[in-house]
Amino acid sequence: MVHKHTAAISQISNKNLLEDSTPPTSASRHRKLSADLPNSIAIFGDILSIFFGLTIGYWLRFRSGLIPQNIQFWSAGQDISGVRLIDYLPLIGVGTILLLITFSYQHLYRVQHLLRFRRVVSIVIRSAAMWLIAYMGLSLAMKFEPPISRIYVIASALTTTLTILGWRFILSWALRRSNLVEALRQRVLFLGWNTEAKRLVHAINFDEAQPYVVIGCIQNFNFNATPDTITEVRILGVINQLPEILDKEKADILVLTDLSIDTNEIVAITNLCERKMIQFKVIPSCFQILISGLTLDTVSGVPILGVEELPLERIHNRFIKRCFDIIGALVGLVVSAPVVLIFGFLIWFEEGNPVFFAQERVGRLGKVFTMYKLRSMRRGSEKTDHINQSTHRTDSRLLRVGAFIRRWNIDEIPQFWNVLIGNMSLVGPRPERSYHSNKLADEIPHYNARYSSKPGITGWAQVNGLRGDTDLTERVRYDLFYLENWNVWLDFQILVMTLVARKNAY
């Protein structure tokens, strides 16, 4: 009886969805067209900023007197004393076009990036590095007149990066405070509700730079959550009212979270979204981790959705990361040696030896290794380590100097040695003790996925404040995000953030 009722409802809703053929509303079209204006302004400003940055590079190399003009290697062997700006204008034009192409290739001109300055920083720095190599190669492959000064190219990469980022920061700040922000933020509507939807709503509401705004939720007939249990969004109606709600609320994106809906009904919904020019997206609840690694393959024409290997499972990426780690560890050991001596003496003065603390931790693929730190707690504190997974802010076991060095991550410095010998990485999930690791693996889904990478001195979870006595499930989610999205630029960003991120550092 229940099945017949559900089938009847599905047929009615399918019929309603299929019969609706109204085009996108004029308000929706106007908002989407309005988004073209700030993007055009961004491109025009980028052109001026690039040209200005390359011109400053010319001034630094040839007119400022800051760089000796007789450095033959950097000047390609030519006499540059008489080089004029007008002679370099064609080369500046070529450099401008080449960098614009690089920006486009790196998807800088997607509308959703206009409000997200941090994402822009990553794209601009990555593009500038690519441009530097390409422009330098171009100067070797083609005989320009005058020849391109190599030091000019390096100086211009730096000055152009600064001018672009300065311009984009001003643009992002102005757009977030203008009336155009409504056109840039896409209106998101949820069909169904689950934990992932709730998390997404929180992420959107937390960050003003997000190019989205959540307008509400539509209930499915099999929906097991009542309006009383959903406090994050408005309940706008039920699935049979979908066409009217899409028009009334001027939705840009429909996100399906309830995969219990009948397949034919899902097809009808996607067709409806296509007719109304609304993006249709799905939160794949059956893939609770590694979402960004999902790829679509075909076997004899049959589409198969699956989880691709993680970036750090590829040997060339591990090689790049290892080289990065070795250089960073050597520099870290040399630079931090005086700091270790000073605080080592303070630890010894407060409670004597040992100055260093050694403890077994779980590394990549579950391999156990010995991790070294400056001792921040009283002797014998490790005997009660099994009681708590993390140290509390007011832990009575902390030395007086220990609280300070933990807050400023000074106790982590000896781990550069662990990085150098290959047990750890500069960046990665934090290593856990075997006892806590086994316990957390039983309590937190997908916990052991962290062990596909070497543990790190710092990590994405730590720089976002998820350390100490914080939500372990959320910490694991941040670790998994890092593993899914690893690249050298992300590692560099995390290292920089480690220097300034103090939230929950104790």
Task: Say if residue 227 is preceded by a cis peptide, omega within 30 of 0.
Answer: no
Domains of the chain: which residue ranges? 36-176, 184-286, 315-500
452 is written with which tokens? 């596909």
Calculate ∠ Cα 466-468-469, nearest 5°. 95
List the pLDDT tens digit at each of the 506 positions of the chain. 444 444 434 444 455 554 555 555 555 555 555 667 888 899 999 999 999 999 999 888 887 777 766 655 444 445 555 677 888 888 888 889 999 999 988 889 888 888 888 889 989 999 999 999 888 887 776 766 777 788 888 899 999 999 999 999 999 989 888 877 777 888 899 988 887 888 888 888 877 777 888 888 888 755 455 545 667 788 888 888 888 888 888 888 898 887 777 788 888 888 888 888 888 888 766 555 555 556 666 555 566 666 666 788 888 889 999 999 999 999 999 999 999 999 999 999 888 888 998 989 999 888 899 999 998 888 766 666 655 555 655 666 788 888 888 878 888 899 999 999 999 999 999 888 887 787 877 777 777 778 888 999 999 988 888 876 667 778 888 888 898 888 888 898 899 888 876 565 54
- Between 3.40.1440.60, 3.40.640.10, 3.90.550.10, 3.40.50.720, what CATH number should domain 184-286 receive? 3.40.50.720
Question: What is the per-residue pLDDT across 95-135, written as a single tens digit (0 to 9) for each?
Answer: 899 999 999 888 898 888 888 888 899 899 999 999 998 88
Question: What is the per-residue pLDDT across 329-353, written as a single tens digit (0 to 9) for each?
Answer: 999 999 999 999 999 999 998 888 8
Whole-prediction pTM: 0.60
Residues 472 and 389 sit within 8 Å (Cβ to Cβ): yes
Q: Give the number of other Cβ atoms within 10 Å of residue 225's Cβ.
A: 15
Phi, psi (deg, nearest 5) at residue 21: -130, 20
Distance of CA 157 to the CA centre of its chain: 23
Calculate ∠ Cα 483-487-488, nearest 5°. 130
